[in-house]
Amino acid sequence: MKLMINREGCFSVNNKNRICPFDGRGEAWCGDWCALFKEPFERKGGNRTTGKTIVVLGLCQVAWVCPKEEFADEREVTDENP
């Protein structure tokens, strides 16, 4: 499972943008502008089987987890977003 945050901040899984589960019309994309979006972080040795680094992304009160190699964050790094 590949997780990505594109340059505009939209969240996608396996190259498909996620639609907000709280949007009654099903028209809003998940992204970093949402109050339920948490910044991703790495956990070294997080995979207990392989000991590899994983990335954890909190979104909609759920934690998305994937190997570091399968995560991409294309947003620009700024003073506001280190």
Predicted local confidence at residue 45, as pLDDT: 85
Per residue of the chain (82 residues), what is the pLDDT tens digit?
Answer: 899 999 999 999 999 999 988 888 888 999 999 999 999 999 998 877 888 899 999 998 889 999 999 999 999 877 665 5
Rounded Cα gap, residues 48 and 8, in angstroms: 33
Two structure tokens written together for 6:
């594109």
Give 50-79 as a DSSP string. Answer: T---EEEEEETTEEEEEEGGGEEE-SPP-S
Predicted local confidence at residue 54, as pLDDT: 93
